[in-house]
Amino acid sequence: MGTYIYMSETKDTNGRPVHDPLVNREEKSPNKLTRDYSVILFYKYAPVANPEAFVAWHKLVGPKLGLTGRVHIAKEGINATLEGKTENAEEYMRIIRGDEEGMAAASRIGVPPQDFADLRDVQIKTSLGIGDAFPKFKAKVKEEIVSLKLTRADGVEEDVDPNQVTGVHLKPEELKAWYDNGDDFVIIDMRNDYEFKVGHFKNSINAGLKNFRDLPEILPKLVEQHPEIATKKILTVCTGGVRCEKASGFLKKKGFGEVYQLDGGMHKYMEAFPGNAQEGKPCEFRGALYTFDNRMTMDFVGEDISKREVIGRCQVCQVPTERYGHCANDACHLHLMICKGCAENHIYVWCSPECRDTGRVGVVHSADLGTAGAVITLA
Ligand SMILES: [Zn+2]
Ligand SMILES: [Zn+2]
């Protein structure tokens, strides 16, 4: 799929490079990862009778345990990404289950037990933290636990209730066996295009989404480009699994027969089978996993990161990188891959002709852009 990247070098009247939105974000430092902090990720479609009360409870518990991150609660369930000191994150994980052990933990820190939703069997994913993965703690009532309101281009809603229709949950071990046995299947990556760029499953199809809600519009084109989707068994994948609850349900609703979703998402698979590129046995998930926090990416190979492949490429010069910048249109700010060298050379990259045409680049006036923009076509 062709992507157009526009770039231009922007200098002030003295020839000095001006405000560069691409270097605003501090480069991620894998060395900052520490066992002292944990990031936890979970979701659960489970009825919540009183989302407001559950949010209020979180506003009590989160700060008490020094947690940061976000919790979204809707009548349909809960979705959370949090960071805290490891012992506090573990305490939260106990409390949130609301079982006997959870009730004991709640009374230990002096908060009411969690009895707003049945989360006794919730699957919680954990990874190393950095201590400042999130700026603060936020808990909110939402219409849905992830913003996945599937809507067609003509505005007709095509939403899916995962409690009604969803794909079969495939365990990481089962997917590993599919790979090892050479099974005939297609993997559709249901994340955003920029998440795909830094890491993805071997032989997976990039849905190329800019927003998850575009899936109904993208799907027919995807099937046209990859006719095997219509004939083979399908596995949908995403970071932690929550998007696939709806994506796989949507595929089923559209009449696709054998539809699976990866249980626990890429997170669980990489954790179970981190692989070792040095020994010629790389993980089937190639590259790093994009995260929606200040870590930017993560993996499970441990201290020696040369054990995994780097598959991200600078969208300007094509060198291997795992560094993200932003679309130079500040109103858009979409993530794009740009190497340190290109960022330091003050090259602006826009995600689309539309963003380029706004002429918006941080504090630079449109006149400053002149006609210096170049067009690069990426394969
Ligand atoms: Zn570059
Ligand atoms: Zn943009």
- The highest-confidence range among 23-32, 257-266, 329-338, by mean pLDDT, is 257-266
CB 10 within 8 A of CB 372: yes
What count of Cα atoms within 13 Å lies in the side-chain half-sphere of residue 184?
A: 6
In tens, the pLDDT along 111-123 reads: 999 999 999 999 9
Angle between helices 86-97 and 100-109 (to 10 degrees): 130
CB 259 within 8 A of CB 252: yes
Instruction: Considering the domain delimited by 32-141, tell me its CATH architecture.
Output: 2-Layer Sandwich (3.30)
Residue 275 has pLDDT above 70, yes or no: yes
Residue 357 has pLDDT above 70, yes or no: yes
In tens, the pLDDT along 1-17 reads: 333 444 444 444 444 44
Per-residue pLDDT, averaged over 76-103, amounts to 97
Q: Which pLDDT value is given to residue 296?
A: 87
Residue 22 has pLDDT above 50, yes or no: no
Per-residue pLDDT, averaged over 70-89, amounts to 96
Task: Name the amino acid, one letter, at 59.
Answer: K
* Ligand 2 centroid to residue 324 C-alpha, Å: 14
Q: Which pLDDT value is given to residue 151?
A: 65
Average pLDDT, rounded, for the chain: 84
| CA triple 185-190-195, angle to 5 deg | 120
In three-state secondary structure terms, 348 is strand
Q: Which pLDDT value is given to residue 202?
A: 95
* Ligand 2 centroid to residue 285 C-alpha, Å: 27
Q: Which of 238, 327, 339, 351 is catalytic?
A: 238
What count of Cα atoms within 13 Å lies in the side-chain half-sphere of residue 355?
A: 22
Q: Which pLDDT value is given to residue 148?
A: 66
Q: Which ligand approaches the C-alpha of residue 3 most closely?
A: 2
Q: Which ligand approaches the C-alpha of residue 5 most closely?
A: 2
Q: Which pLDDT value is given to residue 126?
A: 95
238 is catalytic: yes
Q: Which of 95-104, 258-267, 277-286, 356-365 has the lowest mean pLDDT?
A: 356-365
Q: Which pLDDT value is given to residue 98?
A: 96
Q: Which has the closest alpha carbon to 291: 195, 205, 200?
A: 195
Q: Which pLDDT value is given to residue 376?
A: 32
What are the tokens at 130?
């950095």
Residue 234 has pLDDT above 80, yes or no: yes
* Ligand 1 centroid to residue 325 C-alpha, Å: 11
Gap between the Cα atoms of 305 and 299, Å rounded: 8
CB 301 within 8 A of CB 199: no
Any idea where the domains of the chain sit in the sequence? 4-24+323-377, 32-141, 160-309
pLDDT band at 308 (very low <50, low <70, confident <90, very high): confident
Per-residue pLDDT, averaged over 54-69, amounts to 97
Cβ neighbors of 48 (< 8 A, separation 6 or more) are: 54, 73, 74, 75, 76, 77, 78, 116, 117
* Ligand 1 centroid to residue 285 C-alpha, Å: 24
* Ligand 2 centroid to residue 341 C-alpha, Å: 21
Asked if domains 32-141 and 160-309 share a fold, the reply is no
Gap between the Cα atoms of 101 and 95, Å rounded: 7
Q: Which ligand approaches the C-alpha of residue 358 most closely?
A: 2
* CATH classification number, 160-309, choose in 3.30.465.10, 3.40.250.10, 3.40.30.10, 3.40.50.2300: 3.40.250.10
Which residues on adjacent β-strands are paired with residue 350?
6
- The highest-confidence range among 57-71, 214-228, 280-294, 346-360, by mean pLDDT, is 57-71
* Ligand 1 centroid to residue 369 C-alpha, Å: 20
Residue 160 has pLDDT above 90, yes or no: no
CB 372 within 8 A of CB 11: no
In tens, the pLDDT along 167-194 reads: 999 999 999 999 999 999 999 999 999 9
pLDDT band at 152 (very low <50, low <70, confident <90, very high): low
Q: Which ligand approaches the C-alpha of residue 321 most closely?
A: 1
CB 222 within 8 A of CB 207: yes
Gap between the Cα atoms of 21 and 18, Å rounded: 10
